[in-house]
Structure 1
């Protein structure tokens, strides 16, 4: 772990968007990244732009074209309204820049496909933070381990309603919570299970129910669209001799089972430490980094990964445009399913 001032090689970056989310999460994360913030762009609020530039010692612009022409940038971070994500990414690529863009990357899968066709070797990473959470990395480690064997099932529980009139929403590019936050559990499930073959959505009149994902590898995933107060979000992965659970992003429990003989075994704590549960959770008694939201929720990891890909001149294996395109395909399929199976092409 290094801090911004300690990196020898840094990217010269610009930031597009300085709203609440950007100010709360993106700008603070820069303290831990190999970057130099050269400029920020915000087209609508000149006073806010000036205040931000004064705080971070950078230059300000109200037009991205001006920023790209006048600054010698390597990359740009984009965090604005999702309706303009795709055109802003396209403009940055045309300017020859690498791009990190907040989720969702666009309003339609077709928009992401156009970006894929014109990225021309540039690194583009989408901020699907759930795929980068430390708890997700632990789940992937277990799922890919020969020690634990095959994964047989997946369950995600997320507070969400599926909106009605899916075709109209897609045609008119209407922003809904299913796009804004539904991509969180979808991105995690796809990161864990791989490409999705088909989708079926079953919901009741309130929009609650399940989105069933059939993965190409045969795995079945159930995204439960739940109702209720936070904390509610959790993910479960099942194997022949184990299961792992992520609760509220901060607690990971690996259940390895307890050996027993039915009707004979009387103790639930057998000798040794190779059975039962293992639990990981952040320390909250020290001023450390792993208990901060930037790290627990994967925001630091997604941005650091983008910077590393650019600096090392390598294509992203995780959450690149191909991954973003597939997430958007699944998002659209679930939105229009209405109980019918939708194949992912």
Structure 2
């Protein structure tokens, strides 16, 4: 299989590394308009890399679009026009969504959208526990990390999370809301309090407190920020019959045994951690996601889609606008 990875930043390098682990002798080509990255990735992974897709002069079976989100739409169209299946990292904006959805259908190609938490075993377990309980519940969830710590090797001004349209809080919401709505149900109403606590002079809020009500009666309190100096992902779920706690990694998933009054760990699958990333980043979820992309090429229905993401982005727009709806 011939694969091109477009965008050789942090995510592009992760996808190359995992593809080489997963596939038997794949042909992988890297594309990035940053000459320094092209040279670095070529040397590190032993693959050919080019500044432009047209420079490769080859036909590819599929593409992994790992560039900054504001460039995804046109890159995806170019790949579909070239008869490739497309794996896209999260987009954060819905530019050309309908055009690319229809183009993929006409071409008979898979248009796959990343939503990594959906592939975590913890999310599957939490969803099954809530369904088994059968009663509305409440949750408190805090996700945050100091923005300059996200990619300390990059100039923050050049990193898309410092751009108002693709900002860090928006990215966190785009990562978290798909699994939240899968587990707790469609969000019917939100109430938002937002502010700026940092001295970085960002042109977007750096903290959001969001109250949610879901269509099935669940309610939540979600805090999203790019301020917290300790990278945090902390969840509590409760009603009178259930208490679940999770701190972002498989070994931190616990539930309370109501009869004995003790917290008991729930086995939650493999944990593969790459140095340099937050402890809550489980490489195994990224592996499963790539496997699901190739399964989708063979006909399996993906867990997530551009159609579903359109609805999530509408919710995020309401949150950013501070709309109570």
- TM-score surpassing 0.5? yes
Q: How many residues end up aligned between the 2 structures?
A: 290
1:39 match: 29
The aligned runs of 1:196-235 (5 Å cut-off) are 196-204=187-195, 206=197, 207=205, 208-225=207-224, 228-235=228-235
- Give 1:143 shift: 2.5
Partner of 1:119: helix, strand, or coil? helix
Q: Structure 1's 64 and 315: CA in aligned 2 closer, same or farther, altered over 3 A?
A: farther
Alignment match of 1:71 (pick from 36, 41, 58): 58
2:183 match: 192
Structure 1 residue runs of 5 or longer lacking an equivalent are 1-10, 162-171, 259-268, 270-274, 284-288
- As a proportion of its length, which structure holds more helix? 2
- Give 1:135 shift: 1.9
Using the TM superposition, name which of 246-255 and 215-224 deviates more.
215-224
Alignment match of 1:52 (pick from 30, 41, 55): 41
2:324 match: 341
Structure 2 residue runs of 5 or longer lacking an equivalent are 147-162, 198-204, 275-280
- Give 1:123 shift: 2.1
Runs of 4+ in 1 over 6 A off after TM superposition: none
1:264 match: none
- Give 1:98 shift: 1.4
2:312 match: 327
The root-mean-square deviation of aligned C-alpha atoms, in Å, is: 3.0
Alignment match of 2:265 (pick from 279, 292, 304): 279
Q: Is the 8 A contact 1:235 1:247 kept in 2?
A: yes
Work out the CA distance in 2 between the residues paired with 1:111 and 1:216: 29
Q: Structure 1's 246 and 48: CA in aligned 2 closer, same or farther, altered over 3 A?
A: same
Q: Is the 8 A contact 2:121 2:268 kept in 1?
A: no
Partner of 2:232: helix, strand, or coil? coil
Bigger RCO (CA 8 Å, 6+ sep): 1
- Give 1:142 shift: 1.8
Deviations 1:172-230 (A, max 9, x none): 96332122333233233123224323332123564545212333333222212365332
The aligned runs of 1:94-243 (5 Å cut-off) are 94-103=81-90, 105-106=91-92, 108-120=93-105, 121-144=108-131, 146=132, 148-159=133-144, 174-204=165-195, 206=197, 207=205, 208-225=207-224, 228-243=228-243
Work out the CA distance in 2 between the residues paired with 1:197 and 1:113: 24
Q: Is the 8 A contact 2:80 2:86 kept in 1?
A: yes
Partner of 1:156: helix, strand, or coil? strand
Q: Is the 8 A contact 1:199 1:334 kept in 2?
A: yes
- Give 1:42 shift: 1.6
Structure of larger gyration radius = 1
TM-score (normalizing by structure 2): 0.77
1:263 match: none
